[in-house]
Structure 1
Amino acid sequence: MNHLRLIASFLLALALCACASSPSASQKADDGHTAQSDPVETDTRKPETESASLSPLHADGPQLMDDRNQPVVLQGYSTFGINYKPEYVNENTFRFLKEEMGSQVIRLAMYTADNNGYCTGGDQEQLEGLIDKGVQAAVATGQYVIIDWHILSDGNPAQYQDQARAFFQKVSRKYAGNPAVIYEICNEPNGSDVTWPVVKSYAEAVIPDIRANDKNALILVGTPQWNQAETEAGKDLLKDAGNMMYTVHFYAATHKDQQRQDLSTAYDQKLPMFVSEFGITEASGNGALDEQSGQTWIDLLDQDKISRVAWATSDKDEASSIFKPGTDPDSPSLSDLTEWGQWLRKVYTGKDTSDAKDSQDTSGSGQKTADEKSGDSGLEATLKQSNTWNSDGMTFTQFDLTLTNHSDQPVTDWSETLNFTKDITIDQSWNGDMSASGSSVTVKPGQYHSTIQAGETVTDIGFIAKSDGVVKER
């Protein structure tokens, strides 16, 4: 296919904090976007530092976990094919996705066939350079990154198996040990002769090449029928593949009750699943948005704690693009979002773009506007305890903070003081500047949320408190 809230109870925070039946010929798009079943960079940052702050991820039963064995639910965005839209492999775009769109993972979709794909005449050196640029940009913005071997019209992954092996040998050597990097070895296997045994055989050839360089990297494996045959994989699992998950794709206007039931069945089989591409259009990537079916899908993914990546970071004139045609990838804004992009932002962040003001500073001066207030006047603070665990005789408690600006003006340079029943220290924090003194914690904006707009609710601030016993808010 071509196209794909933190909901994550992520202690990812610990640190950072389509395709039911075969498609007909009429369902194929001119750009190689087949309808699934009905479908040098000057970087003054130090990406290694951001990468080191990301928790290594691993599958445990059906769940994605962090290095403390706490469930992680990633949400993010896929590029369009990087050989079609290379300009969106862009740190400014990725930072916008992170800061305004709730993104925690970027998927780099590199077509293997179609329009000068990697295996069909494309400039391999240039495409590999785009992959590296994308990895560095994702890491520089504090996000995980999926390197996607995006087979589509070449439905049988075995067709270019030798090229896949050479590619993954190369990139896994380059990024070995980088916890941010995830490998997706076959986007959407498809075709009447492409059964699960065919895909399994391909995976059994490619995965050892990655494992030779990186024994612990998370690997994603697709299933037949445009990633709609997860129950088949659940009956015949890959052996000795190490840390891996099986991918599921859906487009909510096409894939409904049956596909959701298949996912639930596979989850009950404890199959580790990752939705590496989804949309709420038809499987072709176009057509009307089915928001009701889309929300039903999101509710199911939330229930089962399944990560999800939306298609697509692009300004292509089709319903599954999150940006309007002509959007500048160097300076995207909320006003550039399509209806699909606005829906995603609301689902991922809880913010309704249609009612919100674009809080980005377009003047470039970084100065506060005259109507911005100082202090926390008008802010309502709600603290939620979301996780508690013990380690080395100490108690660790994760708290998630929600701030709502009830005033009619923006609030800036705010500060909130939280009081607890015991003395604590801050073990980890994200999206805010936390300082503890005795049983009190003071929260300030830090790098994020320096301004909270009128009527805006911020939900992604949090910290982990360390204490010598159970601690609660007072």
Structure 2
Amino acid sequence: MTTAAARRLRKDHMNHLRLIASFLLALALCACASSPSASQKADDGHTAQSDPEETDTRKPETESASLSPLHADGTQLLDDRNDPVVLQGYSTFGINCKPEFVNEAMFRFLKDEMGSQVIRLAMYTADSNGYCTDGDQKELEGLIDKGVQAAVSTGQYVIIDWHILSDGNPAQYQDQAKDFFGKVSKKYAGNPGVIYEICNEPNGSDVTWPVVKSYAEAVIPEIRANDKNALILVGTPQWDQAETEAGKDLLEDAGNMMYTVHFYAATHKDQQRQDLSTAYDQKLPMFVSEFGITEASGNGTLDEQSGQAWIDLLDQDRISRVAWAISDKEEASSIFKPGTDPDSPSLSDLTEWGQWLRQVYTGKDTDDDKNSQGKSESGQKPVGAKSGDSGLKATLKQSNTWNSDGMTFTQFDLTLANHSDQPVSGWSETLEFTKDVTIDQSWNGDISASGRSVTVKPGQYHSTIQTGESVKDIGFIVKSDGMVKER
């Protein structure tokens, strides 16, 4: 007999023995099936072990089995054992703009190196190839599915985010939202890893909590028709900063849901932290689905001190948090440096913000020069710098532009610097442009337009600008019939 033949004979003999052993094991299990103790052992996973090779073939290929169904109880998020859960993770930039960052290699890096437990898939509805405007819906739905599979396969929860922004009133595309969430909730029904965020940052002077509540009451049933238990996140007005209003008039019959709060620590400080504490006292279940330590524009300086105060408060109240943004865009809120390979990220790719997050999430310092990047605001040059009537130096930057429905939208970021030897109060700045404009969105100021002029006055913030102080988080988006520049 040849050596090969002998090996085949031994292999056949072992296979026969395995079949006999499996048959005897099946008889034994049948014989004791009516025994309460045997049933209990089966439930606990303590029955006799089967053939090791069979066990390996049935072992899940991903880490999704580690995901427990989540539910809100009072102010707390709990798992299926009713133990408190505090999730921490990262939000994509708009997947419409940065689809290459939605992949398993990136998500695994965020979990293994950056302490991530949840990924938020931010899909713009009206901006930048928006789902409801000029985007390819099939392509975006495919990208959502790719993101869900990549997150769950790496053992992370995933938030499907209907990312309204310039379309500040969620009711504008309510019918499309109902169709979308009906579709995705049917597809992922029963998947404990999937969370639905039905309206990112409602905004606009006419977008009150009753408006958002009415929208939520229309959209949530579409999800509940397919999944009775999925966790649903509902935004609040004023860019997710009016949680106390929601706390006075809670949604009813919505099932398992929480209300979202957003903050950017260099802008939102003591007052916003007090608002969160007030809402917590109202027994509002809250989830911070987006935050940063930059200014509200997503750019400017990093305020680590205010950021740590926020993290301490979230830890105290056991509130989950998701950081913005998985991106290499050249702005302070990007976690990665420009030019990062999204298929092969490394610790050396982290910006100063990314390094700060890694330390907060994992307690690990990144061996990288923290002064080498992340401190510049935007690579773009100022559109203009001048001294206004108030004595403040005004610097305006054009940071983004896009077309939608035949109109041109342009985002401007305004910096005001007080170089005088006295505080400046009650200030007003007038900016002139090359075309007639209307204000589409604005933040951190009372901003109005008339013809080609835009007037900026103090809003809730910055009513007084101290000597030597620079305010960098005022901004607005104008709508015009073509490209517009400062005159």
Counterpart selection for 2:270 from 238, 252, 257:
257
**Inter-partner Cα distance in structure 2 for 1:117 and 1:47:** 36
Q: Is residue 224 of structure 2 the alignment partner of residue 215 of structure 1? A: no
How big is the shift at 1:167? 0.1
Distance between the aligned counterparts of 2:299 and 2:90, measured in 1? 17
Summarize the alignment of residues 72-471 of structure 1 with structure 2, pairs less than 5 Å apart: 72-354=85-367
Q: 1:107 to 1:299 in 2, by over 3 A?
A: same
8 A Cα contact 1:286 1:318, kept in partner:
yes
SS at match of 1:215: coil
Does the Cα contact within 8 Å between 2:314 and 2:320 map onto a contact in 1?
yes
1:45 offset after TM fit, Å? Answer: 12
Structure 2 residue runs without a partner (length 5+): 1-56, 370-487
1:48 Cα offset (Å) = 8.2
* C-alpha contact 1:51 1:178 (8 A) present in aligned 2: no
Partner Cα separation in structure 2 for residue 112 and residue 45 of structure 1: 40
- Tell me how far apart the structure 2 counterparts of residues 84 and 242 of structure 1 sit (CA, whole Å): 33
How do 1:19-58 residues align onto structure 2 when only pairs under 5 Å count? 50-58=63-71
Instruction: Tell which deviates more after alignment, 204-213 or 46-55.
Output: 46-55
Tell me the CA shift for residue 70 of structure 1: 0.7
- Residue-by-residue CA offset, 1:158-181 (whole Å, 9 max, x unaligned): 000000000000000000000000
Shift, 1:116, TM fit? 1.3
Query: Kindly, what percent of the aligned residue pairs are identical?
Result: 91
Q: Tell me the alpha carbon deviations over residues 254-304 of structure 1, each in whole angstroms, 9 at most, x when there is no partner.
A: 000000000001111110000000000000000000000000000000000
Residue type of the partner of 1:352?
A: D
- Secondary structure of the structure 1 residue equivalent to 2:290: strand
Q: Distance in 1 between matches of 2:90 and 2:309?
A: 19
In the alignment, is the contact (CA less than 8 A) between 1:45 and 1:140 conserved in 2? Answer: no
Structure ranking higher on relative contact order (CA contacts 8 Å, 6+ apart): 1
Distance in 2 (CA, whole Å) between partners of 1:47 and 1:337 is: 32
Alignment correspondent of 2:38: none
Residue by residue over 1:43-77, the C-alpha shift from the partner in whole angstroms, topping out at 9 and shown as x without a partner, is x9998853332110000000000011110000000
1:320 CA displacement: 0.1
Aligned in 2, Cα 1:153/1:85: closer, same or farther, shift over 3 Å?
A: same
1:412 is aligned to: none
* SS of residue paired to 1:287: coil
Q: 1:66 aligns with which of 43, 60, 79?
A: 79
Q: Distance in 2 between matches of 1:291 and 1:278?
A: 13
The two structures have a TM-score, normalised by structure 1, of 0.65
**Contact 1:83–1:116 at 8 Å: present in 2 too?**
yes
Unaligned stretches of 5+ residues in structure 1 = 1-43, 357-474
Are 1:48 and 1:139, in contact at CA under 8 Å, matched by a contact in 2?
no
Cα shift readout 1:289-331 (whole Å, capped 9, x = no counterpart): 0000000000000000000000000000000000000000010
* Alignment size in residue pairs: 313
SS of structure 1 residue aligned to 2:132: coil
Is the contact made by 1:78 and 1:309 (CA closer than 8 Å) also made in structure 2? yes
Contact residue 227 and residue 249 of structure 1 kept, 8 A: yes
Q: Does the aligned pair in 1 maintain the 2:75–2:280 contact within 8 Å? A: yes
Could you tell me how far 1:223 is from its partner in structure 2? 0.4
Letter in 1 for 2:367: S
In structure 2, the partner of 1:25 is none
d(CA) in 2 for partners of 1:58, 1:181:
12
TM-aligned CA deviation for residue 139 of structure 1:
0.7
CA RMSD, 1 decimal: 1.5
Larger radius of gyration: 2
How far 1:354 sits from its partner (Å)? 3.3
CA contact (8 A) 1:52 1:179 kept: no
Letter in 2 for 1:188: E
Structure with more helix by fraction: 2
The separation in 2 between residues aligned to 1:154 and 1:45, in whole angstroms, is 47
Amino acid at match of 2:280: Y
Partner of 2:367, secondary structure, is helix
**CA-to-partner distance for each residue in 1:400-421, whole Å, 9 max, x for gaps?**
xxxxxxxxxxxxxxxxxxxxxx
After superposition, the C-alpha distances for 1:103-128 in whole angstroms (9 at most, x for unaligned) are 00000000000111000110000000
8 Å contact from structure 2 (residues 247, 282) kept in 1:
yes
- SS of the residue aligned with 1:129? helix
